[in-house]
Amino acid sequence: MKLNKRTKNIKEILEKENIKKNQLYDIDVAVKLLKSLPKLKFKTFESMDVSIRLGVDSNKSDHIIRSSTSLPHGSGKQVRVAVFAEGEDEKKALDAGADKVGMKSLHDEIKSKVINYDVIISRLDTMKYISDLGPILGPRGLMPNVKMGTLTSDIEKAVLNVKNGQITYKSEKNGLIHCSVGKINFEDIKIKENLEKLLSDIKKLKPTTSKGIFIKKIILSTTMGPGISIKKESLNF
């Protein structure tokens, strides 16, 4: 029922604002359009989200794009970070802003399936200790991973990166990547520069066996609003 209502609302907005579904818009025009749309009564500002369609074959393991990007202006989101570490790294993680640091206590907390964190970071040498948490963390996209920058020997840097606006992403079966590039109250230029940095990083991840256009389509939207297709030529990446 909620989905139908949202679909109806989006259709009405598209018609009212004369936004053409298959038309490509300059990034500057698209951001202004999205900001001008009716706002929902969120407790916080809506996110500016992007969907990127890639020219990949998701049936090939080397075509699965999985990585992280540090947005130059941050994501605008308060991120709760838990870290598997002890000793000197425990102190470094806490000083860097981690919300929870531990080994057994954190392991037991996650084992109980009570997870109140957006990102979980682990030292490289703790993987054997947390490997049994895979069935719990994996489906939630929280299992520490080298490519995501969450399985690392530099705990302090990893925590700082996440707290300062690093986002992680993984391509879905249809070759789509979904993530946020800021909040609707960000300055237009900051949304654009965040998006350009994301696209630039993704562009570098093109598999050697992927032929043709890699970044095929870019759609920008607010959390609950319609998507607007972006002209790639209006972005510098």
Position 106, amino acid: L
Candidates 98, 67, 69, 64; CA nearest to 84 is 98
- Taking a C-beta distance cutoff of 8 angstroms, is the pair 68, 167 a contact? yes
Predicted pLDDT of residue 41: 54
Which of 73-76's residues contact partners 24+ apart within 8 Å by CB, and which partners?
73/165, 73/182, 73/186, 73/190, 73/193, 73/194, 74/164, 74/165, 74/182, 75/47, 75/165, 75/167, 75/180, 75/181, 75/182, 75/183, 75/194, 76/45, 76/47, 76/180, 76/182, 76/183, 76/185, 76/186
Maximum distance among all alpha carbons in the chain? 59
Residue-level pLDDT at 49: 94
Q: What is the pTM of this model?
A: 0.77
Label the pairing between strands 24-25 and 176-183.
unpaired
Q: Which of 23, 91, 30 is nearest to 221 (CA)?
A: 30
Given this model, what pLDDT does residue 1 score?
A: 40
Give CA–CA dist 220/230, Å, rounded. 7
pLDDT of residue 69: 92
For 71, 159, 228, the CA distances from 162, given in Å and listed in that order, are: 10, 5, 28
Task: Provide CB contacts within 8 A for 60, sequence distance 6+.
Answer: 207, 209
d(Cα 55, Cα 53) in Å, to the nearest integer? 7
Rounded Cα distance between 195 and 47, Å, is 13
Domain ranges of the chain: 16-74+167-234, 81-164
Instruction: Give the pLDDT confidence of 84-97 residue by residue, as tens digits.
Output: 998 999 999 999 99
The superfamily CATH assigns to domain 81-164 is: Ribosomal protein L1/L10, domain II (3.40.50.790)
pLDDT of residue 168: 87
DSSP string, 213-230: -SEEEEEEEESSS-EEEE
Nearest one of 228, 221, 230 to 46, comparing CA atoms: 221
pLDDT at 11: 59
Q: What is the CATH number of domain 16-74+167-234?
A: 3.30.190.20
> Splitting the chain (237 residues) into consecutive groups of 10 residues, what average pLDDT does each group show?
52 60 89 80 75 90 88 89 92 94 91 88 86 89 87 93 88 91 93 96 92 93 87 95
